[in-house]
Amino acid sequence: MPKMKTNRSAAKRFKLTGSGKIIRRSSGMRHILTKKSAKRKRRLGQDAVVDATCEKAVLRMVPKASMK
């Protein structure tokens, strides 16, 4: 059986918390910020938890994260 390879792009985007949740960055903070309200930009700047429906796919891309 070959080694399980980590998807490097996914490894850079996701982080596992101590309680086992997966953290991601919010999208929409790169450009076109003038029309967005300060409240919306503040919220987009914070990390978000990956939805439960996507957790399995993320853990498949980053197999070593699930072994911690």
**Tens-digit pLDDT profile for residues 10-65:** 999 999 999 999 999 999 999 999 999 999 999 999 999 999 999 999 999 998 87
Label residues 37-49 b or e (16+ Cβ within 10 Å = b): eeeeeeeeeeeee
pTM: 0.82
Tell me, what's the pLDDT at 66? 73
**pLDDT at position 53:** 97
The answer on pLDDT for 67 being more than 70 is: no
Write down the pLDDT at residue 68: 57
Token reading at 24: 């991601």
| Closest C-alpha among 1, 8, 15, 24 to residue 66 | 15
**Structural domains in the chain?**
8-67 (4.10.410.60)
